Chain A
Amino acid sequence: MKFGVVQFPGSCDHRDALAAAQRVADAELLWHGDHSLNGVDAMIVPGGFSYGDYLRVGAIARFSPLMESVIAFANEGGPVLGICNGFQVLCEAHLLQGALLPNTSLRFVCRQVDIEVVGDSQWSRAGETLSIPVKHTTGRYFAPDLDPAQVVFRYAPGQNPNGSQDDIAGVRNEAGNVVGLMPHPEHAVDALTGSADGLHLFESVLRERVG
């Protein structure tokens, strides 16, 4: 099993995503300007400031050559996870519904939050609560027509850091292979830094693929 991690100009969490994925399987970085996914089994679109977040978060990254391949991979049922800026990119690419708006506070927030896993997907098993950090300025999820069955992660009561609709922290597509979330599971993979709960996402897709 091998994960691929996209690197855009302006990505900053691709190394952590790579290291997190390597805790459970093989993983490699894939450059945004290439076309091939090199036969990976799952794709991660990481956090950062792709293309400087110019114009609108995720808007330009969505059209990079590799993203065309990621979109095709997702449409064939391949597992794709978007984290923070990666979530914004997947929304702009219409792989996930909705959009991310500036935090109600207009401030950058960086803190550990509890998120409740409320939906099953290739990247999640409903029923647990994960302690994972958030760090973003544009994380207020908005999707007026979202099917509630597609909500995968919710901020625990009282912990919504950005004013997102219905405390939504992450969603999936209808098929459940594409998931995006604002919190950073790749920053919570070792008890030494406070929590290893983030590994659950990577392990979940591994279970799906390898059994």
Chain B
Amino acid sequence: MRARVLIRPKEGILDPQGIAVERALPALGFSGVENVHVGRLVELDVEDESQLDSMCQKLLANPLIEDYEILK
């Protein structure tokens, strides 16, 4: 099956990338944008989807600093 894992900075951890994007948008005329966070997306084909959570814990994300969400 095809799975997608969304990984984002944990809430409360300073996200300078998100801040940089948030500050850049008004300069292009987009107003009213808040709480921008930049993460990453991992797409993968897996035979055994029950392994996905373990993959996230061990390698795809660092649970100390990142939250992850598995989308199937």
Count: A-B pairs, CB below 8 Å: 30
Number of interface residues, chain B, beta carbon within 8 A: 10
The segment out of A100-108, A150-158, A184-192 that lies at the interface is: A100-108
A31 to nearest B CB, angstroms? 22
Contact A102 B16, beta carbon cutoff 8 Å: yes
User: Within 8 Å of chain A (Cβ to Cβ): is B52?
Assistant: no
Residues in chain A near residue B59, CB distance under 8 A: 55, 59-60, 63
Residues in chain A near residue B62, CB distance under 8 A: 56, 59, 92, 99
User: Within 8 Å of chain B (Cβ to Cβ): is A163?
Assistant: yes
Given contacts A55-B59, A55-B60, A59-B59, contact A99 B16 (CB under 8 A): no
User: Within 8 Å of chain A (Cβ to Cβ): is B33?
Assistant: no
Contact A99 B65, beta carbon cutoff 8 Å: yes
Residues in chain B near residue A99, CB distance under 8 A: 62, 64-65
Residues in chain A near residue B13, CB distance under 8 A: 101, 142
Give residues of chain B (14-61) contacting chain A, Cβ–Cβ below 8 Å: 14, 16-17, 20, 59-60
Is chain A's binding surface mostly helix, strand, loop or mixed? loop
Residues in chain B near residue A105, CB distance under 8 A: 16
B68 to nearest A CB, angstroms? 12
Distance in angstroms between the alpha carbons of A143 and B62 in the assembled complex: 12
Distance in angstroms between the alpha carbons of A99 and B20 in the assembled complex: 22
Closest to B9 in A: A101
Residues in chain A near residue B16, CB distance under 8 A: 102-106
User: Within 8 Å of chain B (Cβ to Cβ): is A98?
Assistant: yes
Contact A102 B64, beta carbon cutoff 8 Å: no
20 pairs, CB–CB < 8 Å, chain A vs chain B: A55-B59, A55-B60, A59-B62, A60-B59, A63-B59, A98-B64, A99-B62, A99-B65, A101-B13, A101-B14, A102-B17, A103-B16, A104-B14, A104-B16, A105-B16, A106-B20, A142-B13, A142-B64, A142-B65, A163-B14
Top-7 shortest CB links A-B:
A99-B65, A106-B16, A99-B64, A104-B16, A99-B62, A56-B62, A102-B16
The residues of B with any CB-CB pair to A shorter than 8 Å are 13-14, 16-17, 20, 59-60, 62, 64-65
**With A102-B16, A140-B14 already in contact, 16 other A-B pairs whose C-beta atoms are closer than 8 Å:** A55-B60, A56-B62, A59-B59, A60-B59, A63-B59, A92-B62, A98-B64, A99-B62, A99-B64, A101-B14, A101-B65, A102-B17, A103-B16, A104-B16, A106-B20, A142-B13
